[in-house]
């Protein structure tokens, strides 16, 4: 015998268990795919754009600027490699993904804070030495927006039922 048609709007059943890569989890997955490409492009652009000799000499007089440039590069590389590792773990639905993503977003927040600090030290040196559009931290509104979004995503990975039900291996 056939069963009666079920009303799709009927709320009497138990709520569906949220699991699997769906809903908001598509956004971090897309970000894990796109961000490493953007980081590599940013680093290559920085390596290709050699500042004039006068700018290099001027930068040498700013040891804090040079130190921050090295730190920003190291943070970008850490975000690149951790992002690739997170992507593999994300696709395998490993249990460590929420913690890894929290660390990855914390690195993103650090980058969003470091670049404006570096820019604030000496805007003229920064503008001569580094193409501001090539940095992945952004400045001003972009930096604040990145910090807010990364903070929300950290909360999502720590508190979401979908995340807890998806990454179980």
User: Is there a domain that residue 11 lies in?
Assistant: no
User: Is there a domain that residue 61 lies in?
Assistant: yes
User: Does residue 34 register a pLDDT over 70?
Assistant: yes
User: Is there a domain that residue 16 lies in?
Assistant: no
Task: Tell me what pLDDT residue 93 has.
Answer: 92
Percent of the chain predicted with pLDDT > 90: 33
* Residue where the block lists tokens 């952004």: 138
Number of domains in the chain: 1
Average pLDDT, the chain: 78
pLDDT tier for residue 98 given thresholds of 50, 70 and 90: very high
User: What does the pLDDT average to over 67-81?
Assistant: 87
Query: What domain range is 58 assigned to?
Result: 25-166
* Residue where the block lists tokens 């290099």: 56
Question: Which whole-number Å values give the CA distances from 59 to 2, 6, 84, 128, 131, in the listed order?
Answer: 79, 71, 32, 9, 14
pLDDT tier for residue 137 given thresholds of 50, 70 and 90: very low
Task: Tell me what pLDDT residue 50 has.
Answer: 59
User: Is there a domain that residue 128 lies in?
Assistant: yes
Q: CA 161, 163, 164: angle at the middle one, nearest 5?
A: 65
User: What does the pLDDT average to over 36-44?
Assistant: 86
User: Does residue 150 register a pLDDT over 60?
Assistant: yes
The residue among 70, 153, 90, 79 whose CA lies nearest residue 112 is 79
User: Is there a domain that residue 106 lies in?
Assistant: yes
User: Does residue 134 register a pLDDT over 60?
Assistant: no
| pTM passes above 0.85 | no
Q: DSSP per residue over 47-100, as a string?
A: HHSPPPHHHHHHHHT-HHHHHHHHHHHHHHHHHHHHHHHHHHHHHHT-TTHHHH
User: Is there a domain that residue 7 lies in?
Assistant: no
Task: Tell me what pLDDT residue 125 has.
Answer: 55
Q: DSSP per residue over 10-34, as a string?
A: ---SPPPP--SS-GGGHHHHHHHHH
User: Is there a domain that residue 1 lies in?
Assistant: no
User: Is there a domain that residue 4 lies in?
Assistant: no
């Amino acid at each position: 015998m056939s069963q009666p048609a079920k009303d799709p709007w009927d709320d009497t059943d138990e709520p569906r268990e949220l699991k699997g890569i769906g809903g908001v989890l598509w956004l971090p997955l897309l970000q894990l795919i796109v961000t490493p490409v953007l980081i590599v492009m940013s680093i290559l652009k920085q390596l290709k754009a050699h500042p004039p000799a006068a700018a290099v000499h001027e930068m040498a007089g700013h040891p804090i600027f040079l130190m921050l440039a090295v730190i920003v590069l190291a943070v970008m590389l850490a975000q690149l490699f951790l992002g690739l590792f997170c992507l593999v773990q994300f696709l395998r639905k490993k249990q460590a993904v929420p913690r890894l993503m929290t660390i990855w977003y914390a690195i993103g927040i650090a980058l969003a804070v470091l670049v404006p600090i570096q820019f604030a030290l000496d805007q003229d040196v920064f503008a001569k030495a580094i193409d501001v559009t090539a940095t992945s931290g952004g400045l001003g509104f972009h930096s604040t927006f990145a910090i807010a979004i990364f903070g929300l995503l950290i909360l999502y990975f720590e508190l979401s039922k979908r995340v807890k039900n998806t990454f179980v291996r």
